[in-house]
Chains A and B, each alone.
Chain A
Amino acid sequence: GNSVTQMEGPVTLSEEAFLTINCTYTATGYPSLFWYVQYPGEGLQLLLKATKADDKGSNKGFEATYRKETTSFHLEKGSVQVSDSAVYFCALSETFGRMNTGFQKLVFGTGTRLLVSP
């Protein structure tokens, strides 16, 4: 079945450092790819997404490129801030088999905790 693998954390960085969080996936077909972020005490929020190969998703200085040849969707940011400290989840969407609700099921990675110190 479909799966998502992301690097284990925690990732500990100093402010203004460069961030990479690796994510690779296994999927049949052509899934959409997502990065969600969970700040302490809050629900998951969509950070960025890409719906087809070579698409680049970007938001709040974060970027990720849908690489079909390497089945990857690595998250990057050039200069992290303390406020970026959170847990980051890579996910892919897969189509419902039995129901057409307009929404697709999400398959998540295990999450990577990022800790940024001043």
Chain B
Amino acid sequence: GAVVSQHPSRVICKSGTSVKIECRSLDFQATTMFWYRQFPKQSLMLMATSNEGSKATYEQGVEKDKFLINHASLTLSTLTVTSAHPEDSSFYICSTGLAGRDNEQFFGPGTRLTVL
């Protein structure tokens, strides 16, 4: 299957700083990537859909000015958490799909963000 990587795997930052998380498709081109957030013992919640070369589509309740998504190339999408606060601490996961694979998504290993 397709391989998706994320960097960093974990990050600790101070409140008020910004953090960038990278999601890369390693062996294929990804026109669409998805960003999820997972709280402990809770579901993965879709935050936004990222499309190469266009603006991301955010889910209801997700602040687009706080969670900046850039999908500048077919292999890289970034999520920047701006002015992070402790309540932004969470596990962030990206995924993408392959055309013709009937909606199967391939997931990155996730990034653990801790805001102090």
- Residues of chain A whose beta carbon lies under 8 Å from any beta carbon of chain B: 4, 32, 36, 41-46, 49, 51, 89, 93, 96, 98-99, 101-111
CB of A101 within 8 A of CB of B49, answer yes
| B45 cross-chain contacts in A, Cβ below 8 A | 108
CB of A106 within 8 A of CB of B93, answer no
Task: Tell me whether chain A's interface is mostly helix, strand or loop, or mixed.
Answer: loop
Ranked nearest first, the 4 interchain pairs of A and B with the lowest CB-CB distance are A43-B107, A44-B107, A103-B97, A108-B43
CB of A106 within 8 A of CB of B46, answer yes
- Residues of chain B whose beta carbon lies under 8 Å from any beta carbon of chain A: 1, 4, 31-32, 34, 41-46, 49, 51, 57, 93, 95, 97, 99, 102-110
| B97 cross-chain contacts in A, Cβ below 8 A | 102-103
Task: Tell me whether chain B's interface is mostly helix, strand or loop, or mixed.
Answer: strand
With both chains docked as a complex, state the minimum distance between the C-beta of B113 and any C-beta of chain A, in angstroms: 16
CB of A89 within 8 A of CB of B57, answer no
| A45 cross-chain contacts in B, Cβ below 8 A | 1, 107
With both chains docked as a complex, state the minimum distance between the C-beta of B48 and any C-beta of chain A, in angstroms: 11
A/B interface sample: 25 pairs, CB < 8 A:
A4-B43, A43-B93, A43-B95, A43-B106, A43-B109, A43-B110, A44-B44, A44-B93, A44-B95, A44-B107, A45-B107, A49-B102, A96-B49, A98-B57, A99-B51, A99-B57, A101-B32, A103-B32, A103-B97, A104-B103, A106-B34, A106-B46, A108-B43, A108-B45, A111-B43
Q: Known pairs A89-B44, A101-B49; list 9 more (Cβ under 8 Å).
A: A45-B1, A93-B103, A99-B57, A101-B32, A104-B103, A105-B34, A106-B34, A110-B41, A110-B43
| A44 cross-chain contacts in B, Cβ below 8 A | 44, 93, 95, 105, 107
State which of A98, A106, A107, A109 has its C-beta within 8 Å of the C-beta of B105: A106
| A96 cross-chain contacts in B, Cβ below 8 A | 49
Closest to A109 in B: B43
Q: How many angstroms from the CA of A33 to the CA of B43 in the assembled complex?
A: 15
State which of B4, B42, B43, B103 has its C-beta within 8 Å of the C-beta of A103: B103
| B105 cross-chain contacts in A, Cβ below 8 A | 44, 46, 103, 106
